[in-house]
């Protein structure tokens, strides 16, 4: 039985820095969600020994990975605007093109194939941009919550800003609630993101999960 081999060409799309930051951010989000829910509702039974500070260690992990997320959010913003590779910035052209929106939406309805100028289609780009804004808001509200507890060092430096933001958002309780709302946006996004990444790889045979691991994507050669 004869088989047909479709030739593919390999393209390097994600640098090592982008890939490392992607997986560090994924790890940070996972740890922050788990520890954040526990801080909001400490469901573990208190140990008999007072030497075991369960809530303290969980808060410590939350703080460490919170600072990691803040650093990654800043680094990814810098790389987007100033990286030598402009493959992410080229996605602006797709966002500004009505035809690119039509092509991507039709491809999701099994009526065509993806055709992008950058690494992201217009819907992907807008979604990732929105999530980046949410990440920044999570970091800002998280730092304000941090400064309301720790009044020395960085907390002291952020004290005036934290007091202003806390008052502007209606108090410490409301600030914490909005921090939780932003977290839920992240949770919903991650579920949809993983599904769409796998679905896209199956549907179009490229732009799949392995590209954020290896950095390479594969496209059918154009004749």
Q: How high is the mean pLDDT of the chain?
A: 84
- Rounded to whole angstroms, how far apart are CA atoms 152 and 166? 18
Fold of 10-42+51-216: Fumarate Reductase Cytochrome B subunit (1.20.950)
CA 143 from centroid of its chain's CA atoms: 18
- Residues 195, 39: Cα–Cα separation, whole Å: 29
pLDDT in tens, 35-80: 999 988 887 766 666 666 888 889 999 999 999 999 999 999 998 8
- Give the C-alpha separation, 23 to 35, whole Å: 18
Asked if the model's pLDDT at residue 28 lies above 80, the reply is yes
More confidently predicted of 179 and 97: 179
pTM of the model: 0.83
Asked if residue 28 lies in contact with residue 65, where contact means CB atoms within 8 angstroms, the answer is: yes
Phi-psi region of 21 (alpha: psi -120 to 50; beta: other; left: phi over 0): alpha
| Helix, coil or strand: residue 10 | strand
What is the per-residue pLDDT across 77-91, written as a single tens digit (0 to 9) for each? 998 888 888 878 888
């Amino acid at each position: 039985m004869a088989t047909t081999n479709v030739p593919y060409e390999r393209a390097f799309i994600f640098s090592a820095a982008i890939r490392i930051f992607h997986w560090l951010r994924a790890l940070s989000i996972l740890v922050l969600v788990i520890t954040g829910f526990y801080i909001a509702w400490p469901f573990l039974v208190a140990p008999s020994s007072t030497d075991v500070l369960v809530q303290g260690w969980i808060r410590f992990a939350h703080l460490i990975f919170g600072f990691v997320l803040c650093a990654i959010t800043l680094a990814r913003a810098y790389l987007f605007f100033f990286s030598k590779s402009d493959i992410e910035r080229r996605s602006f052209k797709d966002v500004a093109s009505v035809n690119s929106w039509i092509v991507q939406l039709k491809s999701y309805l099994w009526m065509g194939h993806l055709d992008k100028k950058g690494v992201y289609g217009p819907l992907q780009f807008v979604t990732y941009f929105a999530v980046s804004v949410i990440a920044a808001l999570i970091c800002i509200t998280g730092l304000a919550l941090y400064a309301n507890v720790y009044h020395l060092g960085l907390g002291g430096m952020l004290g005036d800003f934290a007091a202003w933001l806390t008052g502007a958002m209606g108090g410490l309780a409301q600030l914490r609630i909005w921090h939780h709302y932003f977290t839920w946006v992240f949770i919903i996004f991650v579920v949809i993101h993983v599904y769409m990444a796998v679905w896209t790889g199956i549907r179009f045979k490229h732009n799949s999960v392995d590209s954020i691991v290896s950095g390479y994507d594969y496209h059918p050669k154009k004749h």
